[in-house]
Copies of this chain bind each other. A is one copy, B any other.
Amino acid sequence: MERNTKQRQEIIETLKACYDHPTIKELYDLIKKNHKNIGQATIYRTINNLVKEDVIRRVECPDGIHYDYRKDHYHFYCLKCSKITDVFLDNKIIDNLLLSSNLNNIKHVNLVFEGICDSCKGKSSYEIK
């Protein structure tokens, strides 16, 4: 169905090579380096398609939407420095969660732990960004 264009390939490859959960703007800036006349409408359209096709994942955070190529884990968001880190959970834990929710037909569990990361822990007064 979807055409395997240069742009689509580049977007997927860039996100795959990227372990730090870029926003769409960050992704656009990264891709611009290699492919300098890609249009931002292409990024928006392609990213939205990839999410619908379940090729990539949206990570919904307090500071906006980030994207992740990998889909086998969940996330931690630091309320102080906004850093996102991967959280790997046992399947059994998620099964338990689904079981006790009494829901069915769940396609995806959007799970973000929010708190203060270790390196921010020691620092003085924090402000939620």
Q: Is A62 an interface residue (CB 8 A)?
A: yes
Residues of B within 8 A of A114 (CB): 106-110
Copies of this subunit: 2
Interface residues of A in 85-107 (CB under 8 A from B): 87, 89-90, 93, 96-98, 100-101, 103-107
Contact status B111-A111, CB under 8 Å: yes
Q: Is A113 an interface residue (CB 8 A)?
A: yes
Contact status B121-A113, CB under 8 Å: no
Q: Find A96's partner among B87, B96, B101, B111 (CB 8 Å cutoff).
A: B96
Contact status A110-B107, CB under 8 Å: no
Q: Is A128 an interface residue (CB 8 A)?
A: yes
Q: Is A12 an interface residue (CB 8 A)?
A: no
Scan A42-73; emit 1 where CB is below 8 A from any B CB, else 0.
Answer: 00000000011000001011100000000000
